[in-house]
């Protein structure tokens, strides 16, 4: 006989890990989706199935499969990112990331599970919002925007569930800052997160719509003050964050760069771009002009090659390459330069190693994977033309 199952998106760390542990105690088998598996020895491994997921690269099939599994009767989304920083210190890639992870992908997952939530059978669903989603949050403007999207979504859809006669609801858990997670660069500490997880699970099973920890003692008054005078509250909140020492105005994103010809675009190119994007947040690709690759004319004109590369979901920006990748650094200030491993030890890359030594740039050498290469395709085309 199959056990009842719970899906935890983000269950490898922080509050997700603590909720996972609680749900195991409640007799659930777990389907944990996260970027890395939970550390060994914390959860009973025979009861946990791990699925790789990156909410920046939405895996619709994975969530469909889990949603269709009738043993699954609980969904909790705890994956999330954010930080306290003034707006000008957010790179556009960070804005994209925060809104995608905390709001867009999260809401998409609820859409995929919605038939189950809307159904007659009991289904327990919840998501980590934040108190930042319930009021303005100067110096966390992007995070607040992302969380506001999610809490408003939950608030709205719960009314639809009620109107359709479903007894199921989505729980919005909107705490202020808590300890025991990796969120502010800390470590997982179940002794810190255990009681919050216990409360969350209790609210999930009660099919409540909202849980703001310490609401009566603290946040009822805070929200009242905010609603009475949002401007005054905002100024106070800004000052409070500044004085708390939690402001982190450092650069957070890793910018990657690689250059290439990308003539006769093939799966080897695609794999290269995918692997590069896995190692950075914002990938800039410099495309060489015709004749720039081993002195050969390209089959495809530059503008078309740029359009093809730019249409690839792993690429954030396409530019004309520079004569030297080091010249491109002066323009784009990238943190990682990606290149095939056969360039390692060449005069050019030895020069780059020297040039980047004091600039905080890593040169990442990728081993070439076996795939159709441009050279093979060129050879075939030339042979066919000669027939």
Q: Give residues in contact with ligand NAP (CB under 6 A).
A: 10, 12-16, 34-36, 53-56, 78-82, 101, 128, 130, 175, 177-178, 181-183
Q: Which two tokens stand for residue 163?
A: 């109107």
Min. distance of Cβ 180 from ligand NAP in angstroms? 8
Min. distance of Cβ 342 from ligand NAP in angstroms? 32
Nearer to ligand NAP by Cβ, of 178 and 355: the residue is 178
Min. distance of Cβ 137 from ligand NAP in angstroms? 11
Rounded Cα–Cα distance for residues 47 and 320 (Å): 51
Min. distance of Cβ 110 from ligand NAP in angstroms? 14
Rounded Cα–Cα distance for residues 14 and 179 (Å): 9
Among 4, 65, 274, 296, the active-site one is 296
Whole-Å CA distances, 27 to 14, 22, 48, 310: 21, 9, 12, 48
Min. distance of Cβ 139 from ligand NAP in angstroms? 15
Rounded Cα–Cα distance for residues 232 and 240 (Å): 12
CA nearest to 16, candidates 48, 58, 63, 61: 48
Rounded Cα–Cα distance for residues 102 and 249 (Å): 20
327 SS3 class: helix
Provide Rg for the chain, Cα atoms. 25
Nearer to ligand NAP by Cβ, of 246 and 378: the residue is 246
CA nearest to 33, candidates 20, 57, 50, 21: 50
Half-sphere exposure at residue 102, Cβ-oriented, CA atoms within 13 angstroms = 28
Nearer to ligand NAP by Cβ, of 181 and 374: the residue is 181
Nearer to ligand NAP by Cβ, of 126 and 286: the residue is 126
Q: Which two tokens stand for residue 95?
A: 């804005």
Other C-beta atoms closer than 10 Å to the C-beta of 192 total: 17
| Residues 6+ positions from 387 with CB-CB distance below 8 Å | none
Nearer to ligand NAP by Cβ, of 10 and 260: the residue is 10
Known catalytic residue at 294: yes
Rounded Cα–Cα distance for residues 127 and 203 (Å): 12
Min. distance of Cβ 156 from ligand NAP in angstroms? 19
Among 294, 323, 357, 370, the active-site one is 294
Known catalytic residue at 147: no
Nearer to ligand NAP by Cβ, of 186 and 289: the residue is 186
Contact call for residues 133 and 142 (beta carbons, < 8 A): no
Q: What positions carry a catalytic annotation? A: 294, 296
């Amino acid at each position: 006989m199959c056990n009842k199952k719970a899906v935890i998106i983000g269950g490898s760390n922080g509050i997700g890990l603590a909720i996972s542990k609680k749900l195991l105690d409640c007799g659930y088998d777990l389907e944990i989706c996260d970027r890395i598996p939970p550390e060994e020895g914390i959860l009973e491994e025979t009861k946990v199935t791990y699925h790789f997921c990156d909410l920046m690269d939405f895996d619709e099939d994975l969530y469909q499969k889990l949603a269709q599994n009738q043993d699954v009767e609980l969904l909790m989304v705890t994956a999330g990112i954010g930080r306290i920083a003034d707006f000008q210190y957010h790179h556009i890639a960070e804005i994209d990331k925060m809104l995608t992870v905390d709001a867009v992908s999260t809401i998409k997952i609820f859409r995929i599970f919605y038939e189950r939530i809307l159904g007659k059978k009991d289904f327990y669903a919840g998501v980590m919002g934040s108190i930042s989603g319930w009021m303005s949050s100067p110096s966390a403007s992007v995070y607040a925007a992302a969380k506001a999207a999610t809490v408003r979504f939950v608030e709205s859809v719960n009314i639809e569930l009620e109107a359709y006669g479903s007894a199921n609801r989505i729980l919005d858990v909107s705490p202020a800052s808590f300890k025991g997670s990796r969120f502010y660069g800390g470590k997982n500490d179940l002794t810190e997160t255990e009681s919050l997880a216990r409360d969350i699970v209790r609210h999930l099973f009660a099919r409540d719509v909202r849980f703001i920890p310490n609401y009566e003692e603290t946040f009822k008054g805070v929200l009242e003050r905010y609603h009475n005078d949002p401007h005054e509250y905002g100024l106070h909140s800004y000052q409070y964050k500044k004085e708390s020492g939690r402001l982190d105005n450092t650069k957070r994103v890793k910018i990657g760069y690689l250059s290439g010809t990308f003539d006769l675009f093939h799966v080897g190119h695609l794999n290269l771009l995918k692997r590069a994007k896995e190692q950075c947040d914002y990938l800039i690709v410099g495309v060489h002009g015709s004749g720039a690759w081993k002195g050969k004319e390209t089959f495809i004109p530059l503008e078309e090659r740029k359009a093809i590369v730019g249409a690839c979901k792993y690429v954030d920006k396409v530019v004309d390459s520079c004569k030297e990748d080091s010249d491109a650094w002066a323009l784009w200030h990238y943190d990682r330069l990606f290149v095939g491993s056969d360039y390692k030890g060449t005069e050019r890359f030895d020069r780059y190693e020297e040039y980047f030594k004091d600039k905080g740039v890593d040169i990442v050498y990728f081993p070439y994977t076996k795939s159709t290469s441009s050279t093979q395709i060129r050879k075939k085309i030339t042979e066919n033309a000669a027939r």
